[in-house]
Structure 1
Amino acid sequence: MGAGAANVVLAMTAGYTASADVRRVCYQMIEQIDAVLVIPGAVGALVSGLVLSAVTPWGFTRYWWVLLKLVLTVAVIVYSTLGVGVWVEESIQATAGADVESPVAGPLAYGALLNIVAFLLMTWVSVAKPWGTTPWAADRGRAGRRGARVATANA
Structure 2
Amino acid sequence: MARALVGKKTRQLLVFVHVAVSVGWMGAGAANVVLALTAGYSPDPVLRLACYQLIDRIDWWLVIPLAFATLVSGVVVSVASPWGLSRYWWVLTKLVLTVAVIVYSTFLIGVWVEESIAAVAAGAPESPVAGQLAYGAGLNIVAFLFMTWASVAKPWGRTPWGRERRTRRAAGTRPAAAGAAR
TM-score (norm 2): 0.79
Q: CA deviation at 1:5?
A: 1.0
Q: 2:75 aligns with which of 47, 50, 61?
A: 50
In structure 1, the residue matched to 2:95 is 70
What is the aligned-residue RMSD (CA, Å)? 1.3
SS at match of 1:139: helix
Q: Does 1:132 align with 2:157?
A: yes
Question: Partners in 2 of 1:89 and 1:72 — Cα distance?
Answer: 24
| Corresponding residue to 1:34 among 48, 59, 70 | 59
Shift of 1:128: 1.0
Inter-partner Cα distance in structure 2 for 1:126 and 1:108 = 27
The residue that corresponds to 2:5 in the other structure is none
User: 5+ residue gaps in structure 1?
Assistant: 149-155
Deviation digits for residues 47-99 of structure 1, max 9, x if unmatched? 01111122211111110110000000000000000010010001001111314
The aligned length equals 149
**What is aligned with 1:145?**
170
Structure 2 CA distance for aligned equivalents of residues 46 and 2 of structure 1:
16
- Structure 1 window deviating more from structure 2 (134-143 vs 67-76): it is 134-143
- Secondary structure at 1:127's aligned position in 2? helix
TM-score by length of 1: 0.92
Using the alignment, how far apart are the partners of 1:110 and 1:50 within structure 2?
Answer: 28
CA drift of 1:29 comes to 0.5
Once residues 99 and 55 of structure 1 are traced to their aligned partners in structure 2, the CA distance between those partners, rounded to angstroms, is 51
Q: 138-147 or 7-16, which moves further after superposition?
A: 138-147
Query: Which structure has greater helix proportion?
Result: 1
**Which digits, 9 at most, give the CA deviation of each residue in 1:76-134, with x for residues without a partner?**
00000001001000100111131431110010000000000000001111111111111
Task: State the partner residue of 2:31.
Answer: 6
Moved more, 98-107 or 23-32: 98-107
2:142 counterpart residue number:
117
Residue in 1 aligned with 2:126? 101
The correspondence for 1:80, drawn from 105, 108, 127, is: 105
Q: What letter matches 1:61 in structure 2?
A: S
Percent identity between the aligned chains? 66
Query: Which residue is 1:153 aligned to?
Result: none
